[in-house]
Structure 1
Amino acid sequence: MMKLEGVEAFIHTAEAGSISAASRRLGLAKSVVSERLAELERFLGTRLIQRTTRKLSLTMNGQTFLPRAQRILREASEASAELAERSGTLAGPLRLSAPVGFGILHLAPALCTFLAAHPDVDLTLELDDRFVDAAADGYDAVLRHGAVGDTRLIARRLATSRRLLVASPAYLAERGTPGSLAELEGHSAILYSNRDVDWRFQVSGGWTAIRPRAALRVNNGLVMRDAAVAGLGIALLPSFFVHSELDQGRLVQIDVGAEAEGAELFLAYPRDHSASAKIRALADSLRKSFGDPPYWEVPRSP
């Protein structure tokens, strides 16, 4: 009989690219994952993975079996979740991906609230600032800040966020405070390297792009925030990164007479299967934790 634990070991090995990485994802010893793979191959009567000392690759039969294995495991998980939902509980694995900065500042506390209400959910959260392919990388859902253009995904809106121009008081004292988009172009900028370097602002004729000189390019919002606090330059950051620093006076919001392009937070999941009860419950829990409007958009009392 084919065991689901062997199917799971195969899927994680194929997606992660190595048995070692799969064992870390599963929280199992490498030898256990290897044995489960070997048992699955014995049952199927074919080799699924070609192992060499330098790399791991799927055989032709492994490539054929992978999408079916993913469907088998997903349907088993969804069936288990449906039965749990009927009994009034949520249970089983839930694998999420989210950006590092937002995950540390806001998602982690909100997930603790969710797990306290649903202790039988086996949650795995992976923080990564690269663009994660939820459909191909085996995630049940991903948190996205900004538009979800992937037609393979369905997105549930969680919260809004503005993007704010900010700088330290020391930087503005030395370089001056820009009061227009034209003046802004002459300043040093801290840019996010994982999106277009242009800063987009809404003006009377539609949208205009500003291309400031880069003092730093980095793919992490927390590093950008800290660089702005240190006086390296002006940053355009989501309000959820800088609301505390603005309240404390460590950063100052800059008004250039035009509003920067905003963004929304979404929980996105693959379109090829309907949202499980766990994903629906998670989205509802996150929306409640963040608030409407979200707490990072609400001015704090002095």
Structure 2
Amino acid sequence: MIKLEGVASFAAVLEAGSISEAARRLNLSKSVVSERLAELEKAVGANLLRRTTRRLTLTEDGAAFAERAKRILNEVEAAVTDVAERRGSLAGTLRISAPVTFGRMHLGPALYPFVAQHPELELTLDLDDRRVDAATDSYDAVVRHGPLESSRLVAWQLAPSRRLLVASPGYLAQMGIPATLEELKQHRGVYYANRGAADWRLQGPSGIEIVRAHIALRVNNGDMMRDAAEAGVGIALLPTFIVGEAIRRGALAVIEIGFHAEQEAIYIAHPEGRRVSARLRAFAECVRAAIGTPPYWDEWAASPEQG
């Protein structure tokens, strides 16, 4: 008899590209996944995967089986979801990828009550700043900050995202507050390491201006950029969801020179053509409601505490 868990393990191996990675995503041991594959092949009566020391490839029988196996799993999951929705609850799995800083600071606190309210829902939140592929990495959706980069994704905006030039009051007292682009260039800058050249793209009355200050630090983490700015390392251009609270408590000051960064967005995106489940819609609505309109971190940035 063919067991559904074996079919699920087979599909996971195809998506992950290896048994070890499939085991990690399924939260199982490698030996368990291997046993399930062996049982499936015995039940089917054919070898589905060709194993070499470097990779796994589908046999001819495996390729024929794979297409129907995926449809079977999708139908089973849809049936489970439909039953749960009829009972007014959310059930099944939901796998989301999100940036580290946004996930830790804002996504987690928004979702803890959501998870508690839906005990039949199994949510996996994978925090990673790399640009994952929602389709090939088997995510139901990705939460991202910035421009939408893939035409294969359908995106829903969760919130607008403003970016501000900020520095510590101590740094500005020592180095002076820049009032023009030329003065800004004379300062030290804290930059995001994965965005190519150490430049700030600022928009003003005459259009886009590219500004480069003296590079003091490059790092691929928004938390560390904010902390460096607070420590007086230099000026940073950061979204308000990272620096709003620091501005409110007076640890960072906003630098106004008549130019501003282009507005970006925080969005959730799913692969084009994929059925949007009720649990994914509920996830998005939960996050959007928790963020508010305007986002609560923009209100923090606009209302520094009086010391």
**Does the 8 A contact of 2:250 with 2:304 survive in 1?**
no
The 1:177/1:14 distance shift into structure 2, 3 A limit, reads farther
Shift in Å at residue 78 of structure 1? 2.8
More deviation, 229-238/57-66: 57-66
Q: Distance in 1 between matches of 2:205 and 2:11?
A: 51
Paired with 2:67 and 2:170, the residues of 1 have a C-alpha distance of: 55
Aligned-partner Cα distance in 1 for 2:260–2:15: 41
What is the SS of the residue equivalent to 1:173? helix
Aligned CA distance change for structure 1 residues 242 and 66 (closer, same or farther; 3 Å): farther
Q: Which amino acid aligns with 2:165?
A: L
Q: Secondary structure at the match of 1:136?
A: coil
> What TM-score do the two structures reach when normalised by structure 2?
0.89
How big is the shift at 1:71? Answer: 4.6
* Structure index of larger Rg: 2
C-alpha change, 1:227 and 1:89, in structure 2 (3 Å) is: same
Larger deviation, residues 280-289 vs 195-204? 195-204
1:301–1:187 distance in 2 versus 1, CA, 3 Å? closer
CA distance in 2, matches of 1:228, 1:130: 23
Q: CA deviation at 1:49?
A: 4.9
For 2:239 and 2:67, how far apart are their aligned partners in 1? 37
Tell me which moved more, 177-186 or 133-142.
177-186
Which letter maps to 1:168?
Answer: S
2:263 and 2:2 map into 1 onto residues whose CA distance is 49
1:83 has 2:83 as partner? yes
State the Cα distance separating 1:267 from its structure 2 match. Answer: 0.9
Q: Which residue is 1:217 aligned to? A: 218
1: CA distance between counterparts of 2:78 and 2:188? Answer: 50
> How many residues are aligned here?
300
1:6 aligns with 2:6: yes
Mapped to 2, the partners of 1:177 and 1:17 lie a distance apart of: 53
Aligned mates of 1:71, 1:183 — CA distance in 2: 61
The residue type equivalent to 2:180 in the other structure is S
Please report how far the alpha carbon of residue 47 of structure 1 lies from its aligned counterpart in structure 2 after TM superposition. Answer: 3.6
Shift of 1:270: 0.9
Residue equivalent to 2:141: 141
State the shift of 1:134 in Å: 0.7
DSSP 3-state at the match of 1:135: coil
The 1:71/1:15 distance shift into structure 2, 3 A limit, reads same
Structure 1 position 95, deviation (Å): 0.4
Q: How does 1:68-217 map to 2 (within 5 A)?
A: 69-197=69-197, 198-217=199-218
Structure 1 contact 130–194 (Cα < 8 Å) conserved: no
Closer, same or farther: CA 301–77 of 1 in aligned 2, 3 Å: same
Partner residue, 1:243? 244
Give yes or no for contact 2:48–2:59 (8 Å, CA) kept in 1. Answer: no
What per-residue deviation string (whole Å, max 9, x for no partner) do you get for residues 12-46 of structure 1?
33444443333232222222111112223334412
User: 2 CA distance for matches of 1:230 and 1:276?
Assistant: 45
Unaligned runs of 5+ in 1: none
Tell me which residue corresponds to 1:57. Answer: 56
Between stretches 152-161 and 55-64, larger displacement belongs to 55-64
Q: Distance in 2 between matches of 1:115 and 1:142?
A: 18
Q: Is the 8 A contact 2:191 2:225 kept in 1?
A: yes
Tell me which moved more, 97-106 or 202-211: 202-211
1:118 Cα deviation after fit: 1.8
Q: Secondary structure at the match of 1:96?
A: strand
Deviations 1:182-226 (A, max 9, x none): 222222222212334432222123322223333222221111111
TM-score by length of 1: 0.90
- What are structure 2's unaligned runs of at least 5 residues? none
Judged with a 3 Å threshold, the aligned counterparts in structure 2 of structure 1 residues 68 and 293 are, in CA distance, closer, same or farther, namely farther
1:191–1:235: 8 Å Cα contact kept in structure 2? yes
Q: CA RMSD in A?
A: 2.2
CA-to-partner distance for each residue in 1:38-80, whole Å, 9 max, x for gaps?
Answer: 223334412425252xx43334556776566445433432332
| Identity, % of aligned positions | 52
The 1:175/1:194 distance shift into structure 2, 3 A limit, reads: same
Higher mean alpha-carbon deviation, 134-143 vs 108-117, is at 108-117
> What SS does the corresponding residue of 2:8 show, helix, strand or coil?
helix
